Chain A
């Protein structure tokens, strides 16, 4: 097929030219499209919105947020490497999603297909109850669950997700079996908890901040007590070894040149250092972290190892 060969040659040449052009010009040389693989309104969206202003201030270019929801993010991630790799298109990436999804089924991409350039924050797991719940402490929940295994319902977002992992880790560490009820999106879980459909909710510190007096966090999965919730114990204090949550970062198509990845990583690092951005994030309950491009491989290896065991358990339940 002469046609195919010729087309491939032209395509390859065009790509090479574009690649060189991308490397030669200053990055970014135009508005940057920032794809969020989820619907608007969730943590991934809000933090992207918070990044827009500092990004604009640092680079002089607009950061345009777009939503490509589908299959818990898998649809967007599966399409990431087909997008132009000139740094003008970047995508939000989430952990444990990009590790768990390929472990549990074939979502159309592999964990190592995704070129993460920066992990910029995480939301610590939190177990929440509504304000008038009979459960005052985490021990109350554990006692009730042990008395009636599976009798307590715990809401969370989606199946095989960060919340689902938290539910499983909690069961492993405490011996308390809760019935996990999956919802579509954080918003739906919040109305399920506040409206009394589920007894407890696997959420994040951000949910506790947003819902204010309507909910009470019983425990938070950080190393030390969260500054916004000085009265709420950590899981560790209560003897349950759970530290973690959902990590969010930025990835690029695999065709993106190394120097563009490095520059992007530097820019996101500068965004993270912006004092107004940090305050906004921390007041909402996010924990800002800095995992630049250089440290990414080590970070991903550590997280992948942490999720492997729990993935086996979730698979066994399918």
Chain B
């Protein structure tokens, strides 16, 4: 570091500060909208940074990135839909908090946690980069496999009511992750002969569908506001700071987990926040409250995912191996500016990279004011806007969000279909989160295991490659065992205090019909998986065989349990009330996804939004109010349409109209 003062001076120049504010603000908004990702925003902006001074350009890109990871929390808390995959775990406690009227507190907690996590990540980036990069290289395929398993143990936590149903959901998610061209083996798997399925199920499209569609159906099912408005209480900043101070160790641990997992290329924010959540719950004395709106849960996930920003830059800058997709875009921008990332970067004596790191710290600090203000508006907006506008708005966001991922109408279809599947599964007591965990972690687990198998096979020592000779894996396996033991230990403790509490509920239960039907469907799926696996190469068939067998066994067990009345109550399970309106919503979204590539995005969206507005309207609709609603729908559809078409330059499908 040639001259710390001059670096600080350059990073703090008025122009750079202004750019950082704009970047954080823009990033936060993009992150809050599901489907619009940091990668996309940064990719679009890179050419504009060519005309800037390299340091300024990089500060903008870093600010957008860190803002977007943070912004993902808003949608997670307020509408139960992670704005980015790294906010998946934020829905677990964020949405329950919002439901009970503490949405403002949850947003402030997420802000504090994000700033803290971001600072820890950035600090480690500045101080320990070269050393931590070596650590990243010590994690190999085997460790990725065990890390994915550690993430999957969260299923046990998330399916408190019924572990068997949770595991079935997890295996279903892993099955979804296997659709498409197998990376190892090269076979086409479970595409049903459709070329459009070759790329597999996109995780973001699945997230939007599985989380958001059931929320929308729930919103139209009953009158009343989406969230409890609560009273106007300001930011609740001091309450949030108090909670954060009480959770200081949780924050620190989660931030370190976030940085460490962020360093691992390909693992990224989603795994980091899942593991941090799992560890926070395991260590907490209030672990029973996790999943029901526990502030500690939000603090853990949001500090971990923002810590991955700094962490992800470590392999990017030191090894020239991007940690996450946004890192990769920024790496490209650095190379265009003539800064060669990789082993030689820190010896080159170029200060730009230090200005960039300082800019990242400043951007992270700016998240506090920007985030509190944006969060407050977002919260008041979601709470106060009538459902007749909120439902079409959120539905429209899910459609353009999933379209924007690949500029492909196919993803919209995937989103809607998975959303309806997720809703139906929810009715049968199969929660969405185990499915999402399986989908997010399935590929990492499969590829890690298969590579360890191939490499172990070549070296003639499979077990050594998988576990015996790998000390880091021992540590992860120990954590997995600890997490698995936890429910057992707790059961014993509870059992001692209250004798036989479980049996009391079993008496008088009737057959769990929905669970039974769901289990039969999963059993049929398992048979299909096993039959199709026979036509695959050995490398591509191993996991389908394992998943199919597991799914078949668990479905059989659940069929027996459902017959005996062990349905279980899932905290995420959906209510079947108001199914009529729900079906209209589902049908509208399906029609939307089918028609818009032919008729045109704008026209179809306006029509669909009007239908949804009427579906979500309870009580009489007066003429002036109808006019106001229609006007808002036109403005909102038009605004986002123009953003997609003109600002993001997404190629829209060549349709009849526009």
Contact = CB atoms under 8 A, between A and B. Distances in A.
Interface residues of A, number: 76
Interface in B543-602: 598
Contacts of A63: 47
A59 B407 CA distance: 25
B459 to A, nearest CB: 7
Interface residues of B, number: 70
Contacts of B351: none
Contacts of A108: 195-196, 198
A239 interface: no
A188 B266 contact: yes
B649 A182 contact: no
A64 B342 CA distance: 26
Contact of A191 (B46, B136, B185): B136
Interface string B326-365: 1111011101101011111000000000000000000000
Counting chain B CB atoms within 10 Å of each CB, which of A40, A66, A84, A197 scores highest? Answer: A40
A136 interface: no
Contact of A52 (B186, B336, B344): B336
A56 B537 CA distance: 47
B325 interface: yes
Interface in A77-105: 78-79, 82-84, 89, 104-105
Interface string A179-191: 1011111011011
B206 to A, nearest CB: 14
A259 to B, nearest CB: 20
A11 B447 CA distance: 45
A82 B458 contact: no
Contacts of B331: 40-41
Contact of B47 (A52, A70, A188, A212): A52
Contacts of B137: 191, 194-196
Contacts of B329: 40-41, 45
Interface in A1-27: 7, 10-11, 14-15
B168 interface: no
Nearest to A210: B320
Interface string B110-141: 00000000000000000000000000111111
Interface stretch (A148-156, A167-175, A244-252): A148-156
A49 interface: yes
A115 interface: no
Given A75-B199, A181-B455, A187 B265 contact: yes
B199 A71 contact: yes
B373 interface: no
Interface string B606-638: 000000000000000000000000000000000
Nearest to A84: B654
B264 to A, nearest CB: 9
Contact of A318 (B186, B200, B265, B407): B186
A262 B116 CA distance: 54
Contact of B195 (A14, A46, A78): A78
B408 interface: yes
Contacts of B141: 192, 197
Interface of B: 39-40, 43-44, 46-47, 50, 136-141, 180-188, 195-196, 198-200, 202, 265-266, 315, 319-322, 325-329, 331-333, 335-336, 338, 340-344, 406-408, 447, 451, 454-455, 457-460, 537, 598, 649-651, 653-654, 656
14 contacts: A7-B598, A15-B654, A35-B407, A41-B328, A64-B44, A83-B654, A106-B195, A153-B454, A153-B455, A183-B451, A191-B315, A198-B455, A211-B320, A318-B537
Interface of A: 7, 10-11, 14-15, 31, 33, 35, 39-42, 45-46, 49-50, 52-53, 56, 62-72, 74-76, 78-79, 82-84, 89, 104-109, 150-153, 158-160, 179, 181-185, 187-188, 190-192, 194-198, 210-214, 280, 284, 318
